[in-house]
């Protein structure tokens, strides 16, 4: 069973389009995250939700809007895609980030290419 899954795995789209990436975890975790990994492999957090509530919102353009319909899902919607949005987007989840022993589990990633 896949613990953290993302769809689609690859996404190729034109500049200016709107697209969504979906993430689901079956680990029973309360917290989910979105990370962006650029072409140089630099990995940076974008958002985090705990029990459907936003707890981390880094400096991300407001074209990016996360949505958490329930604590097992965290989707990422991107409006008006730009060339610089091309990256690999990773979803992750963890049980309780307030605990020192908390461990994040990552999905396989979604490679977004904006043409």
Partner 1 sequence: GEDVEQSLFLSVREGDSSVINCTYTDSSSTYLYWYKQEPGAGLQLLTYIFSNMDMKQDQRLTVLLNKKDKHLSLRIADTQTGDSAIYFCAEKNDYKLSFGAGTTVTVRA
Interface residues toward partner 1, by CB under 8 A: 4, 31, 33, 40-45, 48, 50, 55-56, 90, 92, 97-98, 100-109
Side-chain half-sphere of 47: how many Cα atoms within 13 Å?
A: 22
CA distances from 110 to 23, 53, 72, 80 (A): 10, 23, 18, 18
Q: How far is the CB of 99 from partner 1 (least distance, A)?
A: 10
CB of 103 to partner 1, least distance (A): 6
Instruction: Write down the least CB distance from residue 52 to partner 1, Å.
Output: 15
Select 60 or 97, whichever has its Cβ closest to partner 1. Answer: 97
Torsion sign (Cα): 25, 107, 51, 27:
positive
């Amino acid at each position: 069973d896949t613990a953290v899954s993302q769809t689609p795995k690859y996404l190729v789209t034109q500049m200016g389009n709107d697209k969504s990436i979906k993430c689901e975890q079956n680990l029973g975790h309360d917290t989910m995250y979105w990370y962006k990994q650029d072409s140089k492999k630099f990995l940076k957090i974008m958002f985090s939700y705990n029990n459907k509530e936003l707890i981390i919102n880094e400096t991300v353009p407001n074209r990016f809007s996360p949505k958490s319909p329930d604590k097992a899902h965290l989707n990422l919607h991107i409006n008006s895609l730009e060339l610089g949005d091309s990256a690999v987007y990773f979803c992750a989840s963890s049980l309780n980030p307030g605990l020192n022993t908390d461990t994040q589990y990552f999905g396989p990633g979604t490679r977004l290419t904006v043409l």
